[in-house]
Amino acid sequence: MTDMSQLTFGIEIMYPAATFIAKTAVGLMLVRIFSQLWQAKIIHATMATYTVISVTYFFWILCYCGNPMKWSSKVLVGKCGSYNPIYSMSIVHGVATAIVDVVFIVVPWTYIRHANMNRRTKTSVGAILSLGSV
C-alpha cells in the first residue's frame, strides 16, 4: 500500500461522519420549514435511511482492520488486506448521498411552486433552499 492510499483511507473514516452531520442539519432545517405532512415524512424517511447507511459505513471502515484501537498501526503497515469491500461500501454511501441531495432539492421546489410569490421570488427562494443539498 502506498502512502497516498494510507492517507486516503484515513480520510475515508472521517467522510461518513462529516456528511451525516451536514445532511442531518439540512434535513432538520427543511422539516421545520415545511408544513405539509407528506414533505416531512419524505425528509424523515430519507434521513433515517441515510443515517443507517452512514453509521454502517463508518463502523465498517472503523472495524475493517480488526480492533479499532489498533487501527492506525495496522493501516500504516498495510495489514488490512484488500480494500475492495471498503471501496464498494464507498460507492453505496456515495449513491445514498446523491439521493439525499436530490430529495433535498426537489422537496423545497414542490413547496415553493404553490407559494403566493412572483416567479422571480420563487426562483430565488428555491435556489437558496436548494443550496442546502450542496
Backbone angles phi, psi at 3, to 5 degrees: -65, -35
CA 91 to the chain's CA centroid: 12
Q: Which of 113, 110, 130 is nearest to 121 (CA)?
A: 113
Looking at residue 51, its pLDDT comes to: 94
Cα–Cα distance list, 20 to 37, 45, 90, 130 (Å)? 23, 14, 14, 17
Percent of the chain with pLDDT over 70: 78
| Mean pLDDT (the chain, rounded) | 80
Q: 21-30, 36-45, 90-99, 121-130: which range is least confident on average?
A: 121-130
Number of Cβ within 10 Å of residue 28's Cβ equals 12
* Per-residue pLDDT tens over the stretch 57-79: 988 887 777 776 666 666 666 67
